[in-house]
Amino acid sequence: MKIINTVTGLKKQVKVLKLSPLGFVPTMGALHEGHISLVKNATKRCPLVVVSIYVNPTQFNDKDDLKNYPRTIEADLALLKNHLRKDDIVFTPDDREVYPAEDKRIFSFGNLDKVMEALHRPGHFNGVGQVVSRLFDIVEPDIAFFGIKDFQQVAVIKSMVRQLKLGVRIMSCPIIREADGLAMSSRNRLLEKEIRKKAPVIFKTISKAAEMICDNDIPEIKKFVKSSIEKESGFRIEYFEIADDTDLVTISKKSEIKTGKRYYGCIAVKAGNIRLIDNIEIPLV
């Protein structure tokens, strides 16, 4: 694999190789098997793959979160070396390469930016729109790979691609979990030991919630999710919502379910000081 940290260097290398489809996996580093699953999907489909590692400041609404975000570049490169081929590229730009001038663009994501994560992380998806569109400009991929772990982000990026009429296909990939069910996340390594031990309660609870849809309506399911998570000390739920995967319309009664749509139960939990998100598809009854 090649490690490139400038935009001109990257563009030159991609042009020289002229391989298509060009696959792209954007990440913020602190890589784990979830990221690697995206890389594997990309190398399976694309003769050339670019993996970017860049912690984007404009998507952090919380300055401490940005400061504490794990940065493990040496370990990341060592891990990627096992999965990338000779010509594949790891792109590690700095802030000046990504934002040569301040990015003042304001995106309009409609309802996608009014529910769930958006209510708890103001400005987050605008920052995601800025960085992903800028990286798409730089890399010019044919296919970009994203994890459904960031459920709302996938919908936002698909909407951005439609709005900007970009010629990139967005592929969403399944959530990779630890053996105990906890969704892999770069933030998991920041969890205190006692909190980490109890963290599987999140997936266990939303799995049960998905089963409950057969015999219960949504208020009962929400009540169950909140009480199951918050009975663990140090765990506080920010939201649990059931929403469709394109317009992210959150529903409060089963009668609001629309046929032909897929629904996901989406959760954000404060586990100690660390904020975790997860989701599960809700089978329709």
Task: Indicate whether 131 belongs to the interface with ligand AMP (CB under 6 A).
Answer: no
Task: Indicate whether 51 belongs to the interface with ligand AMP (CB under 6 A).
Answer: no
Count each helix (H run) and each strand (E run) in the chain, helices first. Answer: 11, 9
What is the side-by-side order of every strand in the sheet holding 22-27? 2-4, 89-91, 48-53, 22-27, 143-147, 169-173
Q: Which of 4, 7, 38, 118 binds ligand AMP (CB under 6 A)?
A: 38
Task: Indicate whether 183 belongs to the interface with ligand AMP (CB under 6 A).
Answer: yes
- Residue 128 or 218 having the CB closest to ligand AMP: 128
Give the tokens for residue 133.
């569109």
- Residue 147 or 272 having the CB closest to ligand AMP: 147
Q: What is the DSSP string of 198-232?
A: HTTHHHHHHHHHHHHTTT--HHHHHHHHHHHHHTS
Number of residues that bind ligand AMP (CB under 6 A): 17
Report the nearest approach of ligand AMP to the CB of residue 235 (Å). 19
Cα angle 149, 221, 196 (rounded to 5 degrees) comes to 45
Contacts with ligand AMP, 12-31, as mask; x by CB under 6 A: ---------------xx---
The candidate with the shortest Cα–Cα distance to 182, out of 80, 40, 32, 54, is 32
Distance separating alpha carbons of residues 98 and 271, to the nearest angstrom: 32
Report the nearest approach of ligand AMP to the CB of residue 224 (Å). 24
Report the nearest approach of ligand AMP to the CB of residue 157 (Å). 9
CB 201 within 8 A of CB 224: no
Does residue 169 sit in helix, strand or coil?
strand
Active-site residue identified among 35, 83, 120, 124: 35
Please report, as residue ranges, which positions from 145 to 164 form the binding site for ligand AMP (by CB under 6 A).
146-147, 149-150
Annotated active-site residue 83? The verdict is no
> Terminal CA-to-CA distance of the chain, rounded, Å?
47
- Residue 38 or 201 having the CB closest to ligand AMP: 38
Report the nearest approach of ligand AMP to the CB of residue 258 (Å). 26
- Residue 202 or 221 having the CB closest to ligand AMP: 202
Using DSSP bridges, classify how beta strands 48-53 and 89-91 pair: parallel, antiparallel or unpaired. Answer: parallel
* Contact residues for ligand AMP, defined by CB under 6 A: 27-28, 34-35, 37-38, 146-147, 149-150, 173, 175-176, 183-186
Active site residues: 35
